[in-house]
Structure 1
Amino acid sequence: MLGKIIQLVKRSDLIIEVLDAREPSLTRSKKIEQIVIKNDKKLLLVLNKGDLVPLWVLKSWKYYFKEEENRESVYVSSTSHLGTKKLRDTMKALLRGNKGVVAFIGYPKTGKSSIINALKGRHSAQTSAYPLEYGYTKSIQLFKIDNKIYAWDTPGIIPPDGNELEKIIRGYNVDLLEDPVKPAIELINRIIKASRESLKQAYGVDFTDPYDLLVKIALKRGWVYKSDKEPNIDMAAKTIIRDYHEGKITYYTLPPNLYRDDKSSSV
């Protein structure tokens, strides 16, 4: 998987790293960014799912990336088709009006394919297939964004890495988790720090702690074991993780140069 991403980077002029606007820091891959820099390619950060966080938070991240890292960024919502024009304009600006090929990369569940589909629109056209280098027999297509910009229609998927919490935020397959409860509790704790209310609204229950939330979700939905009628918290844990990726839980994190107070913690 990593080899395919490296090939996409080498064969592109602009790399767009798609991040989750709720967790920009944890959905960045510094390893991939180093590969981009090493190959002397331009990098654009795109905060997707921008409809899930307040506008001032998106602007705060954009300001942080520019002022602290001198890095260009754009915030969009691919599902709502918001920010697509700004993304196109920024791509043109970074390519300085020249012809170029764009590659979209990022962790699973960040919405890379949705952005690609939004950019395709009705007026884009597929071009001929381009095989990847030796070792990859499958060809991928370029599609035309405008008269000068083309993009690969297959995103580069970064394998989820890091600790348990980071892996699930980065899109690790929930069905492959041996014990989904532990990382789900870590995710719940992280969300509580940002917005406890978002969890109450999402599941329609009040709760005392993460485990209690899992129990109440299971009982509310009738997920109990037939043998002893105990709540199936594994199913509740998987549901929390899936709902997070599907955008059903709205919260946000702030860039390192800002500090949260009690009033700004609710969404």
Structure 2
Amino acid sequence: MLRKVFSIISKSNVVVEVLDAREPELTRSKTIERFSKEKGKKILLAINKGDLVPRDVSEKWKEYFEDQGLMAVYLSATGHMGTTVLRKEIKKLLLGKEGIVCFVGYPKTGKSSIINALKGRHSASTSAHPMELGYTKAPQLFKIDNKIYAWDTPGVIPPDGDPVERIIRGYSVDEMEDPVKAAVLLIKRIEGFDRKSLEEVYGEYKDPYDLLAKIALKRGWIYKKSKEPNIEEAAKVVIRDYHEGKIIYFSLPPQRSR
């Protein structure tokens, strides 16, 4: 899949790497960035899902990337915020000329949603969950302006990608080999941010496994033979709720050295 994305990048003038505003650094692909630079492509980072984090957090990430010499904008494709700025930046990089833009990034960062917003009407397929209906499985070309065409590419997680992001974005929730393990890793990450984010959605709990058990019991998901709570189904709920932005969570950029 990575080779296919590389092939599309080679045919494009500008590469827009779409990041999740909740975890911009962990949804970056240094592999794709290196390849794009080697091919002489202009790179623009689009920090999407800005509606899920405070605006000042997105601004800090924008400044963080710009300090590294990278162009960045923040937006929310579904929240109708920042797409006009993104369009202007793309036109600047194309020097007002006709060109092709390649949208790349991890699964579920919102590449298709951004293209839909830029087009002004829906036709690029989207889905809240990886590998399910609407997930971009093959490159698609769309016209987003009089002179601009955009490639919507399949989400790709690089070999050196973050292990938690790899699990929760790389597979459909129903296709995960061990959704409990994935949910526990995700819960622990969110707890590091603010345990209350989980308690506000699911109520108080002792530990990740207790949280999953309570979700299962509340929904009546109990194994008939053992009478134990079905924490596998509960784990899927947590992962889906995270994908859908129902759990408040975000990270801050590393502090810059003075």
Q: Do the structures match in fold with TM over 0.5? A: yes
CA distance change for structure 1 residues 139 and 56 in 2, over 3 Å: closer, same or farther? closer
CA distance change for structure 1 residues 36 and 160 in 2, over 3 Å: closer, same or farther? closer
Equivalent in the alignment of 1:261: none
Partner Cα separation in structure 1 for residue 163 and residue 121 of structure 2: 40
Structure possessing the higher radius of gyration over alpha carbons: 1
Equivalent in the alignment of 1:94: 93
Per-residue deviation at 1:83?
Answer: 1.0
Equivalent in the alignment of 1:2: 2
Q: Is contact 1:21–1:48 with CA below 8 Å preserved after alignment?
A: yes
Per-residue deviation at 1:9?
Answer: 0.2
Equivalent in the alignment of 2:204: 206
Where in structure 2 are the equivalents of 1:146-225 lying within 5 Å?
146-152=145-151, 154-159=152-157, 161=159, 162=161, 164-203=163-202, 205-225=203-223
For residues 230-249 of structure 1, what are the alpha-carbon distances to aligned partners after superposition, in whole Å with 9 as ceiling and x for unaligned?
11111111211122112222
Q: Is contact 1:20–1:27 with CA below 8 Å preserved after alignment?
A: yes
Equivalent in the alignment of 1:232: 230
Equivalent in the alignment of 1:248: 246
Q: Percent identity?
A: 60
Partner Cα separation in structure 1 for residue 219 and residue 204 of structure 2: 15
CA distance change for structure 1 residues 169 and 27 in 2, over 3 Å: closer, same or farther? farther
CA distance change for structure 1 residues 18 and 163 in 2, over 3 Å: closer, same or farther? closer
Deviates more, 1:2-11 or 1:91-100: 91-100
Where in structure 2 are the equivalents of 1:22-33 lying within 5 Å?
22-33=22-33
For residues 206-244 of structure 1, what are the alpha-carbon distances to aligned partners after superposition, in whole Å with 9 as ceiling and x for unaligned?
112111111111111111111122111111112111221
Deviates more, 1:56-65 or 1:212-221: 212-221
Partner Cα separation in structure 2 for residue 77 and residue 186 of structure 1: 26
Per-residue deviation at 1:139?
Answer: 9.2
Amino acid at match of 2:164: L
Partner Cα separation in structure 2 for residue 206 and residue 38 of structure 1: 50
Partner Cα separation in structure 2 for residue 139 and residue 200 of structure 1: 39
Partner Cα separation in structure 2 for residue 25 and residue 170 of structure 1: 15
Partner Cα separation in structure 2 for residue 253 and residue 163 of structure 1: 14
CA distance change for structure 1 residues 157 and 35 in 2, over 3 Å: closer, same or farther? same
Amino acid at match of 2:177: E
RMSD between superposed Cα atoms in Å: 2.3
Amino acid at match of 1:240: V
CA distance change for structure 1 residues 140 and 221 in 2, over 3 Å: closer, same or farther? closer
Equivalent in the alignment of 2:36: 36
Partner Cα separation in structure 2 for residue 122 and residue 166 of structure 1: 30
Deviates more, 1:143-152 or 1:160-169: 160-169
Partner Cα separation in structure 1 for residue 139 and residue 166 of structure 2: 27
Q: Is contact 1:102–1:149 with CA below 8 Å preserved after alignment?
A: yes
Amino acid at match of 1:188: I
Q: Is contact 1:185–1:211 with CA below 8 Å preserved after alignment?
A: yes
CA distance change for structure 1 residues 164 and 105 in 2, over 3 Å: closer, same or farther? same
Amino acid at match of 2:230: N
Where in structure 2 are the equivalents of 1:67-106 lying within 5 Å?
67=67, 69-106=68-105
CA distance change for structure 1 residues 171 and 110 in 2, over 3 Å: closer, same or farther? farther
TM-score, structure 1 as length reference:
0.84
Partner Cα separation in structure 1 for residue 12 and residue 168 of structure 2: 27
Q: Is contact 2:53–2:249 with CA below 8 Å preserved after alignment?
A: yes
Partner Cα separation in structure 2 for residue 150 and residue 251 of structure 1: 34
Paired residue secondary structure (1:26): coil
* Runs (5+) with no aligned partner, structure 2: 124-136
